[in-house]
Amino acid sequence: MSATSILVFIFVCGALMSGPVYGASELDVKAIEKGMELPGDWNAKDGVLRFSRPRTDLQVVVAGVPLPTSAGLTSWAAFTSLDNHKSASHQAAVMGDLVLTEGQVNFVMSAALDMDLEVTALHNHFFADSPKVMFMHISGMGDEQKLAAAVGFVFKALEASQPISFPQTDLQAVKGSLDAKKLDQIFGLPGAFKDGVYKWTVGRAVKMHGKPMEKAMGVSTWAALLGSDQLAVADGDFAVLESELQSVLKSLRRNKINVVAIHNHMTQESPRLIFLHYWGVGPAADLAKSLSDTWKTQTAK
């Protein structure tokens, strides 16, 4: 065997022993740009193709300071390859962060969920900002062209949605105006009714540093309804496992309930829980059924 053959043999054996080699160059940049219908910024060193859309249509003032888009007001999505050098499957991962007004959040969230992207966080980055802006994180894994088309669709949804204010509802809590017994029947568990507000709570169990933390410590899914049987509002919180998050989001959005925050309440808990807050408007029984169905879907898994 020649010296060259020996070197090739050593190289191949080393590569096999080290496992799959994941290569940045595996991304089909042109195909992803075509799916996105946007030019991207290719980072050859890190193997990342990034798309950015500054929110130049917004004039955001934070605590009296006009904020340039370069100071954190740019929507973006970044792709990287999941393939090894010999793969022809073109699998990729995408992560992104979308800058949205409160009135755009749920329209764009539904677009992302409908395209089988994951919505992983929804929160604010500022205090005292006008207009109020929220940041929604998305992610996905799969065929790179399908991912590109999905994210491109979401970017178009963002552009199509007007940066309107969050819809307002004029009603008050009126003592005795809700049929609490009917709401108990819908939820299947008794709630508490006080000062015109019906509240339903069910606990979840986690451990922190080995100690159980449950309902009394605030680890719970809950709903509060106020108004009348004909027109009510509901706000609350779903405590979900990471594996439950997407199905709960889809259920709420199917029922036209707005998601207003997705975040953690704790650290180092086991199992890990994500908390999502919501706001819904409609007949009290319809709201209760939507929330109950979402909860039952979650607990049925």
Number of folded domains in the chain?
2
Domain harbouring 262, CATH code: 3.30.70
pLDDT in tens, 82-92: 975 455 568 99
Residues of the chain falling short of pLDDT 50: 1-24, 85
Which residue range forms the structural domain that includes residue 241? 180-299
pLDDT in tens, 196-247: 999 999 999 999 999 999 999 999 999 999 999 999 999 999 999 999 999 9
- Specify if 7 maps to a domain: no
Q: What is the DSSP letter of 84?
A: B
Q: What is the model's pLDDT at position 263?
A: 97
- The two three-digit tokens of residue 182, written as one number: 């009917």
Neighbours of 253 (CB within 10 A): 21
> Which one of 160, 195, 215 terminates a domain?
160
pLDDT in tens, 68-81: 999 999 999 999 99
Q: Based on the fold, state whether residues 36 and 147 are members of the same structural domain.
A: yes
Note the Cα 135 to chain centre separation in Å.
10
Q: Based on the fold, state whether residues 149 and 233 are members of the same structural domain.
A: no
H/E stretch holding 113 reads helix 105-114
